[in-house]
Amino acid sequence: MKSTRAAVALVVVLGLAGAAPPADGGTVCNATPIEIPWGFVTIPVVVTGGGWIQDVRVYLGVDHPRVGDLDVVLRRLFGGDLHDTEVFLRPGLNTNPPLGCTGDDVNAFFRDDAIAPAEESCSEATGLTMGPFGPTEPFSAFFGQPVDGTWRLLVGDAEPDAQGQYLTWCLIWDALDLVFADGFESGNTAAWSSVVP
């Protein structure tokens, strides 16, 4: 496993993050290493004062000897509803069953506009370390929502024989430039109010 790759990328990502997110977007990371069990581990980040979402990206660093074992989901609770978006599900499983991609480590950005889909881009030589990669399900499901709140990354290991360690993840977003305080332009009617300022 090559933890130095993820550590270097984390330094770059953290260079984007300030003490408070700017009005036009921001970055929030959780860099507390956690062993990935057979099953899922949930890693939260909390965003405050972040505005309304125009675009979302995810950075993920994982030390794991077989990326094809991993399942990663981005989750948030908004308006009383739970929203799950699959970042990737067992890369390479379609082309190399039953193990999937046998490359090690994840050290990459995931974004909707990436050309290479994560599930088809893992290689034995590099794992998921070149990128950016497209998520399995688009992050655009979150666009127009307020970014504030608790976001969770679920990292799961489908096989008990080769386990690894989560290193860090970052939520990176661009914020909409809104004129109305209730987010009228976002199209999200849940935040609209009839109160006259």
The pTM for the full model equals 0.80
Per-run averaged pLDDT (10 residues), the chain, 197 residues: 41 36 77 92 91 94 95 88 92 87 95 94 91 95 91 93 92 82 56 53
pLDDT reported for residue 79: 74
Give me the domains of the chain, ranges plus CATH numbers.
3-189 (2.60.120.260)
pLDDT reported for residue 176: 86
pLDDT reported for residue 10: 39
pLDDT reported for residue 38: 86
Say how far apart CA 114 and CA 148 lie, in whole Å: 25
